[in-house]
Structure 1
Amino acid sequence: MKRYSVFFSVWIAAALGHSHGFAQSGKPLFTSAFGVQAYTFRSSMPTATAAVLDTIKAFGITELEGEGPKGMPKEEFKKLCDERGIKIPSIGAGYDDIVKDPESVVKMAKTLGASYVMVAWIPHKKEFTLEDAKKAAADFNRVGKILKQSGLTFCYHNHGYEFGKYEDGTLFDYIAKNTDPKYVSFEIDILWSFHGGQDPAQLINKYPSRMKLMHLKDIRKGVANDLTGGTDTRNDVALGTGQINIPEVLKAAKKAGIKHYFIEDESPSYSTQIPVTIAYIKSLTY
């Protein structure tokens, strides 16, 4: 484990020491601390938790979104993160789990020191329908109120399928309009927003006060948009190398006051892509 950690620390330091062709001038566009979504490390986190956290620390990342490996006590996972100076501002929860037992999710968030709880998927059949959106809006209002009473913020994380047309907008608009802003906020995933046919910057500008968290990711050039909420994981590419206008997204996010940004790279090549993503973020100026 120790050798694994040392190797990654040295490799990452070397990788981040290169400019990757990005020249910096002017004021940095991105000045917030950035984190990483634990799902990025889903293949190694369960069996090499401490080593993965060492790797995250070596990336210079100070925030993690995630509730830790299944089976590991939450107190133990928090201790491992604390020892490395990694905070856990946000955790994820399954839709059914939070709807059926929101109190247990509150307890988990409190144990990990999180302020936000996000749900990343609304159960539905092949096509996401108005009835699915109506049920989700009602559930989110109820659950969001319970979390709010415990000092937590509930966020729905979009996944692309909810951008199907409805009236003069989309089903996402329906959810936004039919949930109480006091209880329901959003985590914008910019890849899934784009893949669902949206301009992520415009979506942030449309709902600036509702956007609290962001997943930083990019999608391979040439990949077509659709409403499936899914694409090959190899279509996740380093920021700045895909289709999304990252500078415009970050400008909109800064204006909206988003404070927590999580790199999520579902690609098998995440270990080589994350340093490129970080270097790109740091290179952006205005």
Structure 2
Amino acid sequence: MKRRKTVDAALAHRLSRRGMLGVTAGAGATALLGLGAGTAGAAPRAPAAGRPAPTRPVLPPGRLGIQLYSLRDKIQEIGFASVFKELSEFGYDEIEYAGYTQGIGPISVKQIARLAKSYGLGGIGSHVNYHSDDPAAYTFATSLGTVLDDAETLGLEHIGTASSPGRYGNTVDAWKRAAAEFNTYGEAARARGMKFYQHNHGDEFAFAADDPDVRLYDVLLAETDPRYVFLEMDIYWAYTAQFRFSVTPEGRPRPFEPIDYVVQQPHRYPLFHVKDGVHDPQAADGYDMVDVGDGDIDYKTFIQKVNATHKGRTTHHWQVEHDQPVDSLKFARRSADHLHALTERRRG
């Protein structure tokens, strides 16, 4: 199953609204779409004397998304259609779901899919709970078939969970048990043409309760089958974990860099959550969450390093998110503006 793609005309229309990308008509649009400005094998053209080298977007074209959890208040207040209209105007390409209900009346998954398509928004993923004590709950553990049916209706390429794998505790064996279940969900998703993924928070990077030398996230990576289980790195929470879990419970230094996980296995990280924070050593997590672009996380460098793993083929998607935005639509607009404005100079 292939994810529904926005028609070329809609994509070109959205790109034309992004003046901050520096896209001009003709050759500029061709370069933005990754088709190259010259003939195959031609050397890059040096900038004219006295002119700055041209820039290109750091964010891969067509890959800016938003996790709809950030806009849950507006979805309840004005509904999916009005929210999708705003996101399209802000220049978003993709959306990641966090539930399929709105506050202004019933709506079906099929209707949501049609609305998203009408506004040029591709459904890239969805967060569904891993488990629940209620056997009738809508979770991977209790409703796997229905979860996959809905994802298929929405045309999703990925279907995942933001739940911790700590369902059975935080020992090594407990996480091995959860990993085995994730493998089952991933195999079922793959049979439908989708990828199952797990989205991290900070505690995934803690150390095992029964072995202080073992990081739980490393257990998850080692025990899940890379054919079936993928990861969505929430970059903000990974940085808070770097602050919290760079020393073992016994006081031994165990620093890590979030980007290293991605560089070592880039194929396992198709999705990223882009949220920002101001580093504050006095805060419980070491950061205070803010709008994307207002914090200390160097997203330009992070995205560039991920782009360097592509080897000519763009494979990653970027979803902005804020857990508690003061003004969710303002957050969505400002975040899109910031990421679209990130540029790098071409080599002359």
Counterpart selection for 2:147 from 105, 127, 136: 105
Partner of 1:119: 161
CA deviations on 1:13-43 (whole Å, 9 max, x unpaired) are xxx8789xxxx96332222320111101111
1:185 aligned onto 2:230: yes
The one-letter amino acid of 2:144's match is P
Counterpart selection for 1:43 from 55, 65, 73: 73
CA deviations on 1:153-203 (whole Å, 9 max, x unpaired) are 001111110101356552101100111000001011111111111533223
Comparing 53-62 with 166-175, greater Cα deviation is found at 166-175
The one-letter amino acid of 2:66's match is V
Partner of 2:194: 152
Counterpart selection for 1:262 from 295, 316, 319: 319
Partner of 1:3: none
The one-letter amino acid of 2:151's match is A
Counterpart selection for 1:59 from 46, 68, 90: 90
Partner of 2:111: 76
Report how many aligned residue pairs link the two structures: 262
Counterpart selection for 1:253 from 281, 299, 306: 306
Q: Is the 8 A contact 1:157 1:186 kept in 2?
A: yes
Q: Is the 8 A contact 2:292 2:320 kept in 1?
A: no
Distance verdict in 2 for CA 1:123–1:213, change over 3 Å = closer
How far residue 224 of structure 1 moved from its aligned partner, in angstroms, is 5.5
Q: Is the 8 A contact 2:126 2:151 kept in 1?
A: yes
Q: Is the 8 A contact 2:59 2:342 kept in 1?
A: yes
Q: Distance in 2 between matches of 1:214 and 1:54?
A: 23
Q: Is the 8 A contact 1:32 1:259 kept in 2?
A: no
Task: Classify the secondary structure of the residue corresponding to 2:83.
Answer: helix
The one-letter amino acid of 1:100's match is T
Which residues of 2 match residues 129-168 of structure 1 at below 5 A?
Answer: 129-166=171-208
Q: Distance in 1 between matches of 2:261 and 2:68?
A: 25
Could you list the runs of 5+ residues in structure 2 that have no partner in the other structure? Answer: 1-17, 22-52, 132-138, 243-255
How far residue 123 of structure 1 moved from its aligned partner, in angstroms, is 6.3
How far residue 58 of structure 1 moved from its aligned partner, in angstroms, is 1.2
Counterpart selection for 1:213 from 271, 296, 315: 271
Partner of 2:60: 31
How far residue 128 of structure 1 moved from its aligned partner, in angstroms, is 4.1
Comparing 163-172 with 141-150, greater Cα deviation is found at 163-172
The one-letter amino acid of 1:264's match is E
Q: Is the 8 A contact 2:20 2:341 kept in 1?
A: no
Could you list the runs of 5+ residues in structure 1 that have no partner in the other structure? Answer: 1-15
Q: Identity percentage over the alignment?
A: 25
The one-letter amino acid of 1:154's match is F
Q: Distance in 2 between matches of 1:55 and 1:101?
A: 32
Q: Distance in 2 between matches of 1:250 and 1:128?
A: 31
Partner of 2:289: 236
Task: Classify the secondary structure of the residue corresponding to 2:271.
Answer: strand
The one-letter amino acid of 1:63's match is E
Partner of 1:273: 331
CA deviations on 1:30-84 (whole Å, 9 max, x unpaired) are 2232011110111120341221111111111121111532652101111111221
Distance verdict in 2 for CA 1:172–1:86, change over 3 Å = same
Higher Cα radius of gyration: 2
Q: Is the 8 A contact 1:122 1:136 kept in 2?
A: no
Give the TM-score normalised by structure 2.
Answer: 0.68
Q: Is the 8 A contact 1:195 1:225 kept in 2?
A: no
How far residue 237 of structure 1 moved from its aligned partner, in angstroms, is 1.5
Q: Distance in 2 between matches of 1:47 and 1:76?
A: 18
Partner of 1:194: 239
Task: Classify the secondary structure of the residue corresponding to 2:237.
Answer: helix
The one-letter amino acid of 1:56's match is L
Task: Classify the secondary structure of the residue corresponding to 1:181.
Answer: coil
Q: Distance in 2 between matches of 1:128 and 1:245?
A: 31
Q: Distance in 1 between matches of 2:147 and 2:66?
A: 21
Q: Is the 8 A contact 2:262 2:269 kept in 1?
A: yes
Task: Classify the secondary structure of the residue corresponding to 1:85.
Answer: coil
CA deviations on 1:83-141 (whole Å, 9 max, x unpaired) are 2111112112110111222111110111111010011012648x844344222211101
Q: Distance in 1 between matches of 2:232 and 2:330?
A: 25
Q: Is the 8 A contact 1:194 1:225 kept in 2?
A: no
The one-letter amino acid of 2:85's match is D
Task: Classify the secondary structure of the residue corresponding to 1:64.
Answer: strand
Task: Classify the secondary structure of the residue corresponding to 1:214.
Answer: strand
Distance verdict in 2 for CA 1:180–1:226, change over 3 Å = farther
Q: What do you get for the CA RMSD once the two structures are aligned?
A: 2.8
Comparing 97-106 with 197-206, greater Cα deviation is found at 197-206
